[in-house]
Structure 1
């Protein structure tokens, strides 16, 4: 859906599409494990998964084991875990009742499996181009931020479900997209905006089939599957709101608890400007604030490319998924941008066009994984 045209290479063997990501599962695991041993040479090797579990990961482990709290936790900056949406931690918790492994080990293995599925599912969205597929698989499974997708973070489920939404929309399967969107809206708050993508795709389909905008509202309302899809798509979000209202008496607790992290709603442009003007004082090339601001700008630029390609469902989804978090500050913008499937898929298709660019990009993805993984274990806050 995202490439301007499909490079239909149907003669590629299915085995290659399945085995290539497995190669990057192995190489990525090796790179991250060696980085762990380098950073923590005295640690027991069995603590590998635990060493990669940093920042929000600890919250998810606790949620999978004990569920949602009924009050803030003073030992954890007076914050409640209501800020974190339930689908992926709940899934890990359910699987843990069947498979008796430590939570972080089980969650990491599930994340790797989910990341693998996300890569395979993205094949048509990558224009069925083997070079783009290689770059995307390398980025997700062996890349510089592959720890987001191979430990206990919701980003990996967010990527898979977003990919499925746009796979279904590429076939105008509104109900399929709505099912994925419902789970997406229970994974991260911005997932609810996939509902808008479904509506926009329906508008585009109507205009294409009828050749006019005349009668668009009754024409859309006359499609029962579409009406049902629009109803289903945000159900994950509203179910979580209803649960919070029952559990803590505040359906918007996921938003109100953000104050514990110092996140306040303001003008996104102001946050960007302030971030860009915070120059480093430690000799680094960029400050953490500048890295986060540049990540958000890069996301907006790639969204502009999607607009130029007239991929309007993806454009609207990406804009909301960038602007809404940015309105609360720059925190986590690098993580949010790298987990935005329409953006990373589009970048992969662009870098795959020229052989030289493809090779250089591939090398950069693999080499940078070592250094960024060390920065992650070293507590670099730009990666939070």
Structure 2
């Protein structure tokens, strides 16, 4: 079973090796993208800041909500599909600096990716220790779609909020966990995964408190026959073996109450704006052909790949990729990762794999599911430093080349 006893706090100095490694991987990815794009007479910076979803975020930051595009087939692409936190930050940076909205989005992404790496280190350090935490950050950096961490997209911003919310839950900082979960809910629809993790941790905390309180209560009442029952506070401080004072009840309740406000608030606002009520946001997503069908559309997409030899290879690669993700998640369960991590990862995987959205975006939608990398990080940490460095270096090179090729393709990531 994984020990989650208190470790050294994840100070910036403690996380420095992980952050330096992360920065080196990202620099390699950006260099490869610059060289590849220049060879194709394209601007790497434009690919990172002014293409695809980045343009929608900039338009929200500059003009607010209300813009939509009607396609010839009748679909309506509304910018209400894009959650507001990234555009808000772009607008804020633009207002206090000479940065354009696109430059502001790129800046937010770069800073968020570093903060996310620090958050991933903090979570992994809490669960597995420092060496595995460094490996977890490096594995997240060398993901094949890691270039998205440097784009003016919302994945990095969401990941930093999710990671630090999970860390706050693991360390009993309930109000902070709730606030960060609410902000994550203002960033992407998958913010529901962070809310679910906070609530699951709350339930586990209540059950644990009761299990600790009941034996103590029986002991006290049995030692004083005929005396009235002694009330036992239903909260246990981190690392303690007996119920503590009830001072953690209010922070826990407050954190659980705050957590869903971001997602719920935006969804209700969209429903009010469109006049379609609480389900209005689902109608907006339907205009983009986004929905949740349990994975039927994705399965059909994979099956259609097997109509040609080359397509069959791509279909087989997709099957192997999905199988690897599910296998890693099963390992996470067997290794008894903390409940909030399992719930968070499970919801992120389910929403990404079982949605009927644009299939080319699924790899980046899976990127915030960083806890699924922890078993690999633990295995990598057990290798000698020279071997683990060789593995990470090779993966970084492959990731850099793939990211450059991916962004220079025709479709959006």
TM-score (norm 2): 0.77
Q: Which residue of 2 aligns with 1:298?
A: 324
2:187 counterpart SS class: coil
The DSSP-based 3-state class of the residue aligned with 2:306 is coil
Displacement of 1:241 after TM fit?
Answer: 2.0
- Inter-partner Cα distance in structure 2 for 1:157 and 1:20: 18
Partners of 1:318 and 1:277 lie apart in 2 by 28
**Mapped partners of 2:61, 2:32: distance in 1:** 28
Q: Deviations over 1:163-203 (max 9, x none)?
A: 11110111122222111110111111121232332232233
- Whether contact under 8 Å (1:181, 1:234) holds in the other structure is yes
The answer to whether the Cα contact below 8 Å between 2:17 and 2:134 also exists between their aligned partners in 1 is no
Say if 2:271 and 2:281, in contact at 8 Å, map to a contact too: no
CA contact (8 A) 1:29 1:142 kept: no
Cα distance in 2 between the residues matched to 1:65 and 1:302: 41
CA spacing shift, 1:292–1:82, aligned 2, 3 Å: farther
Unaligned runs of 5+ in 2: 218-232, 236-245
Aligned to 1:370: 400
Asked if the contact 2:289–2:356 (Cα under 8 Å) also holds between the matched residues in 1, the reply is no
Q: CA deviation at 1:351?
A: 2.8
- The residue aligned with 1:319 is 346
| CA contact 1:276–1:294 (8 Å) conserved in 2 | no
Q: Quick check: which has more Rg, 1 or 2?
A: 2
Per mean C-alpha deviation after superposition, the further-off stretch among 65-74 and 332-341 is 65-74
- Partner of 1:336 in structure 2? 365
- Between 1:273-282 and 1:58-67, the stretch displaced more is 273-282
Q: Which runs of 5+ in 1 are unaligned?
A: none
Structure 1 residues 317 and 140: CA distance shift in structure 2, 3 A: closer
State which drifts further: 246-255 or 160-169: 246-255
Q: What is the aligned partner in structure 2 of residue 257 from structure 1?
A: 284
Residue 91 of structure 2 corresponds to residue 65 of structure 1:
no
**Cα shift at 1:65:** 2.1
CA RMSD of aligned residues (A): 3.6
Moved more, 117-126 or 147-156: 117-126
Alpha-carbon separation, structure 1, partners of 2:210 and 2:88:
44
**Equivalent residue number for residue 359 of structure 1:** 389
Residues 1:208 and 2:204 aligned together: no
Residue in 2 that maps onto 1:48: 44
Return closer, same or farther for 1:69/1:14 CA change in 2, 3 Å cut-off.
closer
Shift of 1:151: 1.2
**How much does 1:9 deviate?**
8.3
Matches of 1:98 and 1:345 in 2, distance apart? 39
What is the TM-score with the length of structure 1 in the denominator? Answer: 0.83
Find the counterpart in structure 2 of residue 150 from structure 1: 150
**Aligned 8 A contact 2:178 2:258 in 1:** yes
SS of the equivalent of 2:253 reads: helix
The residue aligned with 1:379 is 409
CA pair 275-70 structure 1, distance change in 2 beyond 3 A: same
| Distance change (3 Å), C-alpha of 1:87 and 1:224 | same
1:1-384 equivalent positions in 2, closer than 5 A: 4-5=2-3, 15=13, 17-18=15-16, 20-22=18-20, 24-41=22-39, 43=41, 47-53=43-49, 54-69=51-66, 71-74=68-71, 78-127=76-125, 129-141=129-141, 143-211=143-211, 223-250=249-276, 251-268=278-295, 271-272=298-299, 275=302, 278-279=305-306, 281=308, 283=310, 286-287=313-314, 291=317, 294-310=320-336, 311-329=338-356, 331=359, 332-355=361-384, 358-379=388-409, 381=411, 384=413
> Partners of 2:17 and 2:83 in 1: how far apart?
32
User: Structure 2 CA distance, aligned partners of 1:61 and 1:333?
Assistant: 22
Q: Conserved in 2, the CA contact under 8 Å of 1:161 and 1:180?
A: yes
